[in-house]
Amino acid sequence: MASTDTDDSPVRAQLAQHLGFLYPDSNAERLADQVIAIFDHLEEQRPLPLHQLWSQQDCLLITYGDSIVDDHSAPLETLHSFLKQHVKDSISAVHVLPFCPFSSDDGFAVIDYTQVNPKLGDWSEISQIADDYRLMADIVINHVSSESQWFENYRKGVEPGASYIMEANVGDDLSEVVRPRASSLLRPTETSDGLKHVWCTFSHDQVDLDFRNPQVLLEFLKIIRLYLEHGVSIFRLDAVGFLWKQPGTTCMHLPQTHEVVKLIRTVTDFFAPGTLLITETNVPNHENLTYFGNRNEAHVIYNFSLAPLLVHSLLTGKTEYLKRWMMTMPPAPVGCTYLNFTASHDGIGMRPAEGLLSDEEQLQLVETVRRFGGRVSTRRTADGGERVYELNVALFDALRGTVKGEDPWQVERFLCSQTVMMALEGIPAFYIHSLLATPNDQAGVEATQINRAINRHKWDWQELQRQLSDEGSVHHQVFGELTRRISLRRQMLPFHPNATQFTLQLHDPFFAFWRQSTDRSQSVFCVNNMSDTVQELRLSDLNLIAMDAWHDAISGTRFDDQNAVLNVAPYQSLWITNRPASP
């Protein structure tokens, strides 16, 4: 049992420090004891050595619990069948997007954090997936559904809930508040104590929680403990940047928000070593990087800028913006890494491209994606205007062609996008609809009137199996080639998430970088033709070590003449390495 009554407990002292900063008017030591009591069934332990947290064999799949449906089984059971039969060991971890009962936003307006949505299955099916893969779950920490018991209690003036909801006064200075939506920030709400104005960062069905009340924090620590008991070992802190509110500020990334992340990190490090924290902060790059803290906040942060820059490069054939960004990206601190992804359940976020792509380049990107069937979502700015917030499109269809129009290179262009992503420093994450080359779901948008539904298709399990077994199907083609390349990647030491990475200065339209294993025994030159024309590559430009035997791991081609000139096909990727893959 964890130590709860000894003043020299290291975790107690650390928790008291966090809590004293967050709640200076409360008894920090008493609060620390309450936190420890929540985890009283777990032994206080030393955090795992940093080198044991991940390796080049790690790869994440992102999916809704019902991305694949079948009339004869619960969606979570069907998902597990898909993983066992088709994905197998190509991936090491599964992110099941919010699986609790919800009222809107496809799971991100949680009604009850302690239950699994019965339409998906139950806790036993969650645990079964966790038995075969590392399981990542969302902690939707900023807000709760307006249909939750907490909000109902808030309106009635009873606990738990009466003091859990964030309020504001109409006269408060909220002019600087950063919003991801164009709806009004405050929701008028009748309560037992009269009319109140409830803070709603996202929608009026998603009411923000008031973390100035320590009881709210304790509630979420109980939720984390429950998820740990069911096998969750990676926690995604959803929309965490908005967590702490203070009128007169942007209410983004406030010091108290970072302190909450540090506290959760302390708890998981001591009571569940090996548990990973990932912060979801879809913001400009320099803001996102702050969530590494001093190696005491998130283990992993999303590489949000990658998706818009990579799509831009593939649609235009220009690599200057992608190269410039990559050269300015710092290596992740020891014990931290990036999560690389090119598509998600939301869309391609454009805020992380601000300051990286010019307004003209962003507009061209928007117009091209619209021509390929995509939609655009906006956000409200402080001056009352609107800016593009995200591109809503299935990535496979976003890459139908280039700024010049559609062409025959969709599959090759798409495979190139995923191959670049999986070779970069960090852990690769594949959205299920990228892995399956799912096109735009226009019917879903029409049915829901929600732009994001375009990339949230629900596959019929029987139809998906037919497509994956049909050698003429684009889904078979893409899935097969991606899983083959993932398998190659898992065997190559230079693709360790923290292996050395340098950007290579090859001429446009090549995007190339060098990775070297942490023990320096193996190198790989990752060369990608980002254009729709054949390009010449001089191997001598790579400065290959003459004494080594070099080959392309993807095609198997050997390079006996290191002065040879290669004809690189449109959107072809090369992994030129000096050591064969492990058997």
Contact 139, 214 (CB under 8 A): no
Secondary structure of residue 181 in the 3-state scheme: coil
Whole-angstrom CA distances from 441 to 433, 446, 476, 502, 567 are: 11, 9, 19, 38, 37
Tokens describing residue 453: 């539904």
Q: Can you state the angle between helices 28-38 and 214-229, rounded to 10 degrees?
A: 20
Residue 332, Cβ density class (10 Å: 0-12 exposed, 13-18 middle, ≥19 buried):
buried
Residue 81, Cβ density class (10 Å: 0-12 exposed, 13-18 middle, ≥19 buried):
middle
**Is 345 labelled a binding residue?**
yes
Q: For residues 520 and 516, give the distance between their C-alpha atoms in angstroms, rounded to a whole number.
A: 6
Q: For residues 101 and 361, give the distance between their C-alpha atoms in angstroms, rounded to a whole number.
A: 40
Q: Give 448-509 as a DSSP string.
A: H--GGGGG---EEHHHHHHHHH-TT-HHHHHHHHHHHHHHHHHT-GGGSTTSEEEEE-PPTT
Catalytic residue (choose from 238, 269, 397, 552): 238
Q: For residues 14 and 21, give the distance between their C-alpha atoms in angstroms, rounded to a whole number.
A: 11
**Residue 335, amino acid:** G
Q: For residues 552 and 150, give the distance between their C-alpha atoms in angstroms, rounded to a whole number.
A: 57
**Residue 66, amino acid:** D
Q: For residues 98 and 79, give the distance between their C-alpha atoms in angstroms, rounded to a whole number.
A: 14
Q: For residues 406 and 413, give the distance between their C-alpha atoms in angstroms, rounded to a whole number.
A: 12
**Is 551 labelled a binding residue?**
no
Residue from 102, 101, 107 nearest 62 by CA: 107
**Is 238 labelled a binding residue?**
yes
Q: For residues 326 and 245, give the distance between their C-alpha atoms in angstroms, rounded to a whole number.
A: 33
Q: Residue for token digits 């008291």?
A: 16
Q: For residues 486 and 316, give the distance between their C-alpha atoms in angstroms, rounded to a whole number.
A: 26
**Residue 481, amino acid:** E
**Is 237 labelled a binding residue?**
yes
Q: For residues 292 and 279, give the distance between their C-alpha atoms in angstroms, rounded to a whole number.
A: 9
Q: For residues 367 and 354, give the distance between their C-alpha atoms in angstroms, rounded to a whole number.
A: 17
Alpha helical stretches, state H, 253-358: 255-271, 285-288, 306-316, 320-328
Q: How many helices (H) and strands (E) does the chain have?
A: 17, 27
Annotation says 238 is catalytic: yes
**Is 193 labelled a binding residue?**
no
**Is 236 labelled a binding residue?**
yes
Contacts of 2 (CB under 8 A, 6+ apart): 11, 36, 39, 40, 42, 43, 44, 271
CB atoms closer than 10 angstroms to residue 28: 18
**Is 315 labelled a binding residue?**
no
Contacts of 113 (CB under 8 A, 6+ apart): 100, 140, 223, 226
What SS3 string covers 512-549?
EEEEECCCCCCEEEEEEECCCCCEEEEHHHHCCCCCCC
- Which residues belong to the annotated binding site for substrate? 105, 143, 236-238, 345-346, 452
Annotated catalytic residues are: 238
- Which residues belong to the annotated binding site? 105, 143, 236-238, 345-346, 452
